[in-house]
Amino acid sequence: MLLWANYPGLSLSPQLTNAMFTHLQTLPSTALFAGLAVAARDFGLSQGETAWISTAISLSSGSFLLLGGRLADLYGRKLILIISFLISAVWSIVAGFSHNRYLFLVARGFQGLAAAGAIPAGLGILGSNYGPGKRKNKVFAAFSAANPVGAAFGLVIGGVLTSYVTWRWMM
């Protein structure tokens, strides 16, 4: 049964919520590319250490996707999605305010953990709310399109924020 079936005006809410979260998870991982040199300079990172800024999210997210899916199966998709939102918000704030390179890199890793919980939970919510057919295909297409859209907007927003404000706002 569809959770949103009683609200015809909100028929797009689950896929928009999930697509938006996917967009928000991709945005900080690509937005910082524009300010990578500035962030590395601020933390005194070597060229080799600079790579960790951009890979910490991807590495932790990819490593823990299966665990995130299992937790969503055990404790409920909605609960894991909400907890992932909270983890992402908290560690984004920590990363933005960190003045220590190690704390910053750990915070970026925890942002990836949030994505590892949210992506399988979001996909599970969409998969269980829509039956086979064109509508489900459109929903999954919207979810999948959010990742490259988030990456594109992340680069643009990152460039603007780095140029006019500070790279710390990209967290």
The tokens of 88 are what? Answer: 């992402």
pLDDT at 16 over 80: no
CB 155 within 8 A of CB 34: yes
Q: In which band, very low, low, confident or very high, does the pLDDT at 74 lie, cut at 50, 70 and 90?
A: very high
Domain boundaries, the chain: 13-37+47-170
Residue with tokens 């500035």: 38
Q: Over the chain, what is the mean pLDDT?
A: 81
Provide the pLDDT for residue 2: 42
126-158 pLDDT, tens digit each? 888 888 888 888 888 878 887 788 778 877 887
Provide the pLDDT for residue 9: 47
Provide the pLDDT for residue 4: 43
pLDDT at 8 over 70: no
Q: In which band, very low, low, confident or very high, does the pLDDT at 97 lie, cut at 50, 70 and 90?
A: very high
Per-residue burial over 75-108, b if 16 or more Cβ lie within 10 Å, else e, is: eebeebbebbbebbeebbebbbebeebeebbbbb
- Assigned CATH topology for domain 13-37+47-170: Growth Hormone; Chain: A; (1.20.1250)
The pTM of the full predicted model, rounded to 2 decimals, is 0.80
pLDDT at 5 over 90: no
The tokens of 74 are what? Answer: 């055990």
Provide the pLDDT for residue 59: 92
pLDDT at 3 over 60: no
